[in-house]
Homo-oligomer: A and B are copies of this chain.
Amino acid sequence: MSTVFKALSDPTRRRVLELLRERPMTAGELAAEFDVSKPTMSAHFTVLKDANLVDATKDGKSVIYRIKLSVLEDALLGFAAAFGLCSTSDTEKEETG
């Protein structure tokens, strides 16, 4: 949980996720969208991988990154539901204490 929020706390990484929401992209394609060096982007990818928010698969010389929406959903909506902020079908509960 901490790793997810930590990953989301950086604007660059949030933007990466938004880009991946459109379609899977290679590390190079993603890096081209930002003003920082490729090694820096690689570090961001590692943070996202550690948070289990993206999936990396090798394709020839490239690495294709895909967003894992279910993990993002679990973290965000699960946490929100704990505060009664969202009704995720089965996650609604009544804290009687």
Contact = CB atoms under 8 A, between A and B. Distances in A.
Interface of A: 1-2, 5-6, 8-11, 14, 17-18, 21-22, 69, 72-73, 76-77, 79-80, 82-87, 91-92, 95
26 contacts: A1-B11, A1-B14, A2-B9, A2-B10, A2-B11, A5-B8, A5-B14, A6-B6, A6-B9, A8-B9, A17-B83, A18-B82, A18-B83, A22-B95, A72-B83, A72-B85, A73-B80, A73-B83, A76-B80, A76-B86, A77-B85, A77-B86, A80-B80, A85-B91, A87-B91, A87-B92
Contacts of A73: 80, 83, 85
A51 B87 CA distance: 24
